[in-house]
Structure 1
Amino acid sequence: MSAPQLSPPNTGRDDGAVILTERRASKAGSRDQLPVHQGDVTPTSPIDGGEEGSGVRQQMKRKPALVRIKSAGESGRSGFHPLRFFRIAFRSSSTVSCAVNVLWPVVPAAIAVRYALPDNHLAIFILAYIAMVPCANLVGFAGQELARKVPHVLGVLTETTIGSVVEIVLFMVLITRPESSSVDYIQVIKAAILGSVLATMLLCLGLCFIAGGFTRHEQTFNEAVSEAGSGLLLTAGFGLAVPTVFEHSLTNSTLSAEVLEKKSIDISRITAILLIIAYLVFVFFQARTHHGIYDNIFEGDEEKDRDREKDLGKPKLTLTECVIALAVSVTLVAIIAIALVDQIHFMVEERHISDAFVGLILVPLVEKAAEHLTAVDEAYDDQMNFALAHVLGATLQTALFNGPLVVIVGWGLGRPMGLNFEVFDLAVLLLAILTVGNFLRDQKSNYLEGFLCVIVYIAVAVAAAYYPNPESPHAEGVPESASPAGH
């Protein structure tokens, strides 16, 4: 009997992917194999008299899955059409995302105020902070449109990676800022790394559970998504904890503060390389060796989408328009990020906002806006596997790639950027990982669990607002009044 060939759920068109399930009989009995995504296949020659499974493989010739655009992402057009481009981009992917586009007039206003009124630091900070939201939303939408055109697993990875562009740009701008006596930009980056993880893992996940629980008793998701994510979260938490535990366990030792800090930085750099390797292995696992499992899961989620027919009928961006949207939005994000980061010094010094609150709460909220909107919309449409993949994927990208990447860049720039965090930040991170892991254990969610996640995040934000600034090594000779935290 030849191996059965199962097609993806009927979308009315070929999506360029075929799921093959093989059953092999052996002397000891039969054994089922997990579905493996084989990409596009075309018949080449008849099956010759070998084993059934090998006959199927001889009959099928694999074609790269990226050669053809999925029907769900086809626009029916090519090139760049300005009017259609602006109309599609403004409508965005959801009602909430469309509402965010109303903020686009703030973008030129923020740029103009930065150069016309350079001494009005509060106005520049507020306008730049608001302007970052529509820019990040366009990055997310362009990534989402691009992700429609490729297979499901690669699409999720593409969307998550593009969504992290805002975060990477902010980290790179922060690490290149000159040292200041009133604000430690490296400390802001460290807080932003953990704050980004907390914002996605607690706030975004909580909002997803609440949005999905509005009209449903509970939602379910696949263990393949939740267990892999939970395990990697624990691994990331352990890796981020090693330099901090090392430094604080030797605080009272015979080592001088300078030697101890140097050792902690060296450990951080080695750990950063290891975490990046772990992330690349995770991507390979998800996109290459086990992508058939994830494809099945995501295709099932697509069938549950109550807005599926509406989404398929929406006008879509062409590949050229996706690239143009990404280029424009990333450029604007870089400009706004520079304006925003340049005002942190004045917000800390004049407005008495702590480094911890800026890095742990303010920066992550704006840099993750697009990813949060996408995940919440998917949860509302009962696509919890997609939503969870975006939440856990964005969290893991920050912890295993973006954070370690800024450590490596700081190494190249000669900056003492490490993974030796404040004990408060690290303790909150580890507790949050345990809390979320417990909620994901039963593969079910409801609005109560989401509400509890949001409450925990608000508690962290309150503590961060009251957390004093650490003593800056560059603050020697600075009067006490210059310290906003009142040490």
Structure 2
Amino acid sequence: MPNYRSDFVKHGRGKGTGNLSREDMPPNDDQGDGQADSGNERTPLIDRSNGKPLYEDERAWVRWPMNFMHLTWETLSSNYVNVLLVFVPVGIVLGALGMDPTAVFVVNFLAIVPLAALLSFATEELSAKMGQTIGGLMNASFGNAVELIVSIVALRKGEIRIVQASMLGSILSNILLVLGCCFIASGVRREESRFNETVASTMSSLMAVAATCLIIPATLYSSLSDSTADTEKNILVLSHGTAIIMLILYCLYLVFQLKTHTKLFDAESQEGTEDQAEILGPIPATIALVIVTVVVAVCAEYLVDSIDAIVEKSGISKTFIGLILLPIVGNAAEHVTACVVAYKDKMDLAIGVAIGSSMQIALFLTPFLVILGWIIGQPMTLNFEGFETVVFFLSVLVVNYLIQDGKSNYLEGCMCLGTYIIIAIAFFVYPEDSNGKVGGGMVKRFFAPN
């Protein structure tokens, strides 16, 4: 979420000299010229004649290429997961040549992980220059950009099941998998951790509203199962209206967070966090954001194209791919850093990312995709399958119970992880040809005696 993500990235970046401001750098040792020269010889971007970095050279023909190399290196070294960038060109080549779908899926699957980290990095660098309000809106828009790009690609191809499963899977992975790992990471070092229960309660309440928005279309579908009315048309009308209301609620939440109740969300910053020097300026950050977004879209295109072949070849359902595998890819780098933050007992940051990101997907990305489907002529609705709707509701219920006291421990983390593993197993055995809509037959079977 807007305020939390900025502090979150501060705690999550690696400890390299590239992340220190000029004032924080250790002073040069002037005891001997030989020692200073020796240090400069080991630094390729330093002009040995005056000890000045080449990217600050007065000659433009030297400064510009050296500055490009310097910014590129600082960006790539911002996260250890960027070593996986080697899979990006390989995945694109495999997809362009139409190679084995399994290889295309796996390689592009791995390629999206570092791209998601770079996208988050560029967003933070750009939003840091724009103030709290605009920066918050930037983070709200691009915080889950990978999931959004993959879903838009799938929606354009008519893969509505992939879109719905991906949205729901991203929510479940954040509120169960990530939150559970954060509770365990914090609990291994201390008996009990505390966080701002007011903020957590506000976020979880909005998640409950989002769950309600999914239950109502499923219930209406069940009520209209024996009706002569055009069920699909009525569900579309309900979904479009509900999506608009959800987007309005999300905008009101941004106003609540960024304007009217900012003090509630500033608890972590009031405790004091270390300053983090920005690496990229507005123009380089914008260029990086555009380039990474385009590359993610290309990798997502090949990833989605290979899903049908993966389903036929392996027997794994589209629901499992969209609900379990894709969300882990899109948030892998962020998930690891969330656990590191929780290990340091920065639970407000961890809670803000885990639950805040889920709320963003539920109240912003999902209704946005419904409206986008309306615009491009794809019948994207909020009528998720009955089993998925029940799983979502129960997961939100469990998390609400766990965070309502503002305290956590490792046992609560294990509860979240256990719930997520059970859900993953259930969707792994969930058949692709199952009609999981909440119709009269499903309800009768559910309540029928064994």
Q: Which moved more, 1:82-91 or 1:241-250?
A: 82-91
Aligned match for 1:437, one of 400, 403, 422 = 400
1:121 is aligned to 101
Q: Does the 8 A contact of 1:73 with 1:148 survive in 2?
A: no
Partner SS for 2:177: helix
1:412 is aligned to 375
Partner SS for 2:382: coil
- Take 1:153 and 1:218, find their aligned partners in 2: how far apart are those partners? 34
2:205 is aligned to 231
Aligned-residue offset at 1:148: 4.3
Q: How does 1:324-343 map to 2 (within 5 A)?
A: 324-343=287-306
Aligned-residue offset at 1:394: 1.1
1:451 is aligned to 414
1:287 is aligned to 258
Relative to its length, the structure with more helix (as a share) is 2
Q: Does the 8 A contact of 1:220 with 1:443 survive in 2?
A: yes
Q: Does the 8 A contact of 1:75 with 1:317 survive in 2?
A: no
- Take 1:393 and 1:298, find their aligned partners in 2: how far apart are those partners? 15
- Take 1:437 and 1:230, find their aligned partners in 2: how far apart are those partners? 6
Give the length in aligned residue pairs.
378
Q: Does the 8 A contact of 2:81 with 2:333 survive in 1?
A: no
Aligned match for 2:356, one of 384, 393, 413 = 393
1:89 is aligned to 75
2:365 is aligned to 402
Aligned-residue offset at 1:385: 1.1
- Take 2:20 and 2:202, find their aligned partners in 1: how far apart are those partners? 28
- Take 1:222 and 1:354, find their aligned partners in 2: how far apart are those partners? 39
- Take 2:351 and 2:126, find their aligned partners in 1: how far apart are those partners? 20
Q: Does the 8 A contact of 2:132 with 2:258 survive in 1?
A: no
- Cα 1:143/1:380, change in 2 over 3 Å: farther
Q: Which moved more, 1:407-416 or 1:80-89?
A: 80-89
Deviations 1:70-109 (A, max 9, x none): xx997899997222222222232xxxxx331111111111
1:15 is aligned to none
Aligned match for 1:467, one of 430, 436, 441 = 430
* Structure 2: stretches of 5+ with no match in the other structure: 1-18, 24-54, 57-62, 436-450
- Cα 1:294/1:329, change in 2 over 3 Å: same
Q: Which amino acid aligns with 1:101?
A: N
Aligned-residue offset at 1:156: 5.7
Partner SS for 1:105: helix
- Take 1:177 and 1:367, find their aligned partners in 2: how far apart are those partners? 20
**TM-score, normalization by structure 2:** 0.78
Q: Does the 8 A contact of 2:147 with 2:167 survive in 1?
A: no
Q: Does the 8 A contact of 1:152 with 1:298 survive in 2?
A: no
Partner SS for 1:368: helix
| Greater length-normalized contact order (CA 8 Å, ≥ 6 residues apart) | 2
1:277 is aligned to 248
- Take 2:103 and 2:368, find their aligned partners in 1: how far apart are those partners? 32
1:479 is aligned to none
- Take 1:218 and 1:158, find their aligned partners in 2: how far apart are those partners? 34
- Take 2:71 and 2:93, find their aligned partners in 1: how far apart are those partners? 25
Q: How does 1:57-68 map to 2 (within 5 A)?
A: none
Partner SS for 1:200: helix
Aligned-residue offset at 1:412: 1.2
- Take 1:160 and 1:386, find their aligned partners in 2: how far apart are those partners? 16
Asked if 1:134 corresponds to 2:114, the answer is yes
Q: Does the 8 A contact of 2:199 with 2:264 survive in 1?
A: no
Q: Which amino acid aligns with 1:430?
A: F
- Take 1:301 and 1:358, find their aligned partners in 2: how far apart are those partners? 41
- Take 2:269 and 2:234, find their aligned partners in 1: how far apart are those partners? 48
Partner SS for 1:215: coil
Q: Which amino acid aligns with 2:263?
A: G
Aligned match for 1:197, one of 168, 171, 175 = 171
Q: Which amino acid aligns with 1:319?
A: P
Aligned-residue offset at 1:113: 1.3
Q: Does the 8 A contact of 1:275 with 1:401 survive in 2?
A: yes
- Cα 1:470/1:244, change in 2 over 3 Å: farther
2:238 is aligned to 267
Aligned match for 2:270, one of 300, 306, 313 = 300
Q: Does the 8 A contact of 2:169 with 2:327 survive in 1?
A: yes
- Take 2:141 and 2:181, find their aligned partners in 1: how far apart are those partners? 21
Q: Does the 8 A contact of 1:230 with 1:437 survive in 2?
A: yes
Partner SS for 1:430: helix
Q: Which amino acid aligns with 2:270?
A: G
Partner SS for 2:184: helix
1:109 is aligned to 90
- Take 2:319 and 2:194, find their aligned partners in 1: how far apart are those partners? 35
Q: Which amino acid aligns with 1:111?
A: I
Aligned-residue offset at 1:149: 4.5
1:53 is aligned to none
Identity %: 37
- Take 2:115 and 2:164, find their aligned partners in 1: how far apart are those partners? 24
Aligned-residue offset at 1:119: 3.8
Aligned-residue offset at 1:152: 6.2
Aligned-residue offset at 1:443: 0.4
Q: Does the 8 A contact of 1:73 with 1:145 survive in 2?
A: no
Partner SS for 2:269: helix
Aligned-residue offset at 1:429: 0.4
